[in-house]
Amino acid sequence: MLGIREVDVATEEESGGAAAGRLLPFLLIVTVFVGGATISTDIVAGEKERGTLETLYLTPVHRKQIALGKYLVVAIATIITGLLTLASMFVCYHFGLITEEGQGISVSPAGMLTAMGLILPLSFLVSAVLLGISAKARSLKEAQLWMTPVMFLAFVPGLLASSQDVRLGAFTALLPIAGVALAIRDGLLGSFVAPHLGLVAAGSVAWAMLGMRWVAGVLSQEDTILGLDPEPLLAPTPSGRLRAVLLGLA
């Protein structure tokens, strides 16, 4: 008579990394977005509503420098939020506060360092998106209204990282937010590839730079500073025709 005995050949760090990789990328995206949204909505849309943004632009400082200063404030806030989230999750996993059995699990230091390093490009990208939405909004409530669907869309890559079916490759590494989520998952599993991590970092920084250029352009417009109604999407103007062409290509 034959007996069947299950034997787990994975190490404690591999098992702990697999458990953390299913949850940590999604929680990082959520907390980074929430932490950045709180400041970004007030730093532009809130000042616009209070009428203090016009006073700020009367100072002898270039508008791009003002935009850069606001961007750095939001980026630092999101970085701190991400690091605190990562530290709290590490403590919870170590002492078994969020595991089903109530026992601590081991997460590899290399995986945690990888996640800490990837928080930087993720925060830069998220900060650009949130600040751009706040700059486009005419009031604090409108900024909050627009940020809600954007945050839900950003949660999708975090959910994809909870599955092992989506692999981190040369293409997925360049996707915004999704590449970072998949890289954090693979880093915790200890199965990351160094070139892919480089692509994730480079892609996120490139997306963040494009977002920052867009934010600087938006914050330099008079209608943004004065809180005027924006131009219609398909207005019969050169910029409106360009948006129509881009929309058709999309």
> Could you read off the pLDDT of 226-240 as tens digits, one per residue?
555 555 555 677 767
| pLDDT tens for each residue of 16-71 | 556 666 677 778 888 888 888 888 888 888 887 777 777 777 777 777 787 888 88
Closest by Cα among 142, 136, 183, 177 to 156: 177
In this prediction, residue 2 carries a pLDDT of: 61
In this prediction, residue 145 carries a pLDDT of: 82
Spatial separation of the C-alpha atoms in residues 53 and 230, rounded to whole Å? 17
Grade residue 11 by pLDDT with cuts at 50, 70 and 90. low
What is the separation, in whole angstroms, between the first and last Cα of the chain? 64
User: Cα separations (Å) of 225 from 3, 92, 135?
Assistant: 75, 45, 9
Whether 88 has a pLDDT exceeding 80, the answer reads yes
Spatial separation of the C-alpha atoms in residues 225 and 154, rounded to whole Å? 28
Decide: pTM greater than 0.95.
no
